[in-house]
Structure 1
Amino acid sequence: MDALKDACRASGDYSITLIPYYAQVIADFDTADTVRQRRFESLQKLHGQLHLYKERGYDAELLCSLAARKAELIMKASTKAEIAQLDKPKPPHYDGVNFSPNPYLTPEEELICWCETSLLAPLDSTAVRRYMEVFRQVFPEKANWAFGEVLQ
């Protein structure tokens, strides 16, 4: 199944990236129906969110990566509370010095959050550093080109 997931992710289409996860939910008869239903609904919500991001012009590679990483988290979730956290993750916690990532928020989602936030108001230096850190996690091959020596 991993080879299929990798091939779907490489397609450049987040809808195709999600297909193996939908199939896994449907075919997993060892899991309770309520859990399967919650996972299926969560995948549908994710699909809708990805569509919104696509309409806003986000990179296809970013969306496929987000789809795969988030779908993996959904497939591991077994409780209603976990699914709820995945469907509406909270932003990273800021303690006044640093940001602590939320385990239910993928780096790709956090990157999109920083992009959206930066459109609303200028980011302070701590937020800019976190934005660049997350960018480097998501796009390591592009980080040096995008930021040059700033991250060094």
Structure 2
Amino acid sequence: MLDKLSEALKNKSPEELVELSEAAVAIVALRKQSGAVPKAKISAIKDTIWRVANYRRQGIVSELVHTIFVKRMQLIGNAGTVSELKEIQAEPKPHYNGNGFSTGTFCIPEEELILWSQTSLRAPLNEAGMKRYLDVFHQVYGFHPWELKTNQEKEEAE
């Protein structure tokens, strides 16, 4: 059994090992509880582990993926109802209201950024979609893509 576990963990990054251990500890604690909410929390944790692994398989930056894991685990830990947990597990669904986009209470900006990035690879974004993509990028990174200086620009400024 230890050989199988060792083999499964062999190629994991430090972030992945931390995530798996945090998830395992949370699941063990939740299994000691009864009721629908603890069961739904376990399901949400399993979904989170699957989702972050899937993002990594797609080549998403590990730091961004780890942030999603941390935020989702916080949301799961704070959730008090099964319906909240179902909403946490749902994919980000930005809704256009005619003036711009809004998201649900449990939407994680880093996860929405991935959604917009993947959407833009399938088809060009319209003006409203592009504006939202850039706004979420700024929320996540604190700057817009065009504000990023190249190494040459940094050297010239010094």
Letter in 1 for 2:36: T
Task: Select the structure with the greater relative contact order (CA < 8 A; seq sep ≥ 6).
Answer: 1
1:89 and 1:104 in contact (8 A); partners too: no
Match of 1:94 in 2: 96
State whether structure 2 residue 60 is matched by structure 1 residue 67.
Answer: no
Structure 2's unaligned 5+ residue stretches are 1-12, 149-158
Match of 1:41 in 2: 43
Q: TM-score, normalised by structure 2?
A: 0.74
Larger Rg: 2
Q: Quote how far apart the aligned CAs of 1:20 are.
A: 3.0
Q: 1:51 to 1:24 in 2, by over 3 A?
A: closer
1:39 and 1:83 in contact (8 A); partners too: yes
Distance (Å, rounded) in 1 between the aligned partners of 2:86 and 2:134: 28
Q: TM-score, normalised by structure 1?
A: 0.77
Identity across the alignment (%):
28
Give the superposed CA RMSD.
Answer: 2.4
Q: Quote how far apart the aligned CAs of 1:14 are.
A: 4.0
Q: Quote how far apart the aligned CAs of 1:47 are.
A: 0.7
Letter in 2 for 1:131: Y
Residue correspondence of structure 1 range 77-88 to structure 2 within 5 A: 77-88=79-90
Structure 1's unaligned 5+ residue stretches are 1-10
Q: Quote how far apart the aligned CAs of 1:33 are.
A: 4.2
3-state SS of paired residue (1:123): coil
